[in-house]
């Protein structure tokens, strides 16, 4: 098995943490980031935490210089960092729109642009964007979030067309309702109402997303690019 260097944004909890732990446990080098200081609970020599604001391009350049010096430039990039700031459109503040677009869409652009050059040089790379079913079907109260995630779909398709000839695949995963901190605020009645709309009648777990990411990062997925894969229990069917 070829050891890969994997860079994951938003790795301090939830889906990102699950992905980081998985790849580190099977022997790959993993750099996980968060905008706040954090440490992974699992103490593995190939699992490194890094404080990074993906909205700050200067910080990203400093990170690249460090990784280059340590010979740890990634060949797999997982854009997972994301935030929500929900509000009905007529009450949504400008900063709620700006902050969500900046992190969920512009932050992905910033990281991807920074790391793609090395992938092109090596004629190999995997870029995996964590989107959301909200970007596919819309969601009331999430005009900002759904717009950012829908934009990520266009970003994925367009970049896949540009980088395919360089040996780089670009794909997106659109989770539905997953048991994480981002859904923990829902009360039982709300969860039950949502489950009625899901054919599999349950929320997903982080391993459901990690398994899909593992596949897209593998050699078995080398002929898949420009795709958005929904992991949502059948909530949204294309």
- The set of catalytic residues is 145
Instruction: Name every residue whose Cβ is closer than 8 Å to that of residue 147 and which is 6 or more positions away in sequence.
Output: 101, 135
d(CA 195, CA 208): 17
Paired residues of 130 in beta bridges: 173
Name the strand (E) or helix (H) holding 68. helix 57-69
C-alpha Rg value of the chain to the nearest Å: 17
Q: How many CB atoms lie within 10 A of CB 31?
A: 24
Paired residues of 85 in beta bridges: none
d(CA 138, CA 146): 6
- The residue assigned the tokens 């909530």 is 235
The distance from CA 106 to its chain's CA centroid, rounded to whole angstroms, is 13
Q: Which two tokens stand for residue 76?
A: 């797999």
């Amino acid at each position: 098995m070829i050891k890969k260097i994997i860079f994951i944004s938003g790795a301090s909890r939830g889906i990102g943490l699950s992905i980081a732990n998985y790849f580190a446990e099977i022997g790959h080098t993993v750099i996980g980031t968060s905008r706040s200081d954090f440490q992974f609970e699992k103490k593995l020599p190939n699992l490194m935490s890094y404080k990074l604001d993906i909205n700050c391009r200067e910080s990203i350049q400093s990170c690249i210089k460090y990784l280059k010096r340590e010979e740890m430039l990634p060949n797999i990039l997982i854009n997972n960092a994301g935030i929500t700031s929900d509000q009905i459109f007529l009450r949504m503040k400008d900063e709620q729109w700006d902050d969500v677009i900046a992190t969920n869409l512009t932050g992905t652009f910033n990281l991807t642009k920074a790391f793609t050059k090395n992938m092109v040089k090596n004629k190999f790379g995997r870029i995996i964007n964590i989107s959301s079913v909200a970007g596919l079907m819309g969601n009331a109260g999430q005009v900002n979030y759904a717009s950012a995630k829908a934009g990520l779909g266009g970003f994925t398709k367009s970049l896949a067309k540009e980088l395919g000839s360089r040996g780089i695949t670009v794909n997106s995963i659109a989770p539905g309702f997953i048991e994480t901190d981002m859904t923990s605020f829902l009360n039982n009645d709300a969860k039950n109402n949502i489950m009625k709309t899901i054919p599999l009648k349950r929320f997903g777990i982080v391993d459901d997303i990690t398994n899909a990411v593992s596949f897209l990062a593998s050699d078995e997925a080398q002929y898949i690019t420009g795709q958005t894969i929904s992991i949502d229990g059948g909530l949204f069917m294309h």
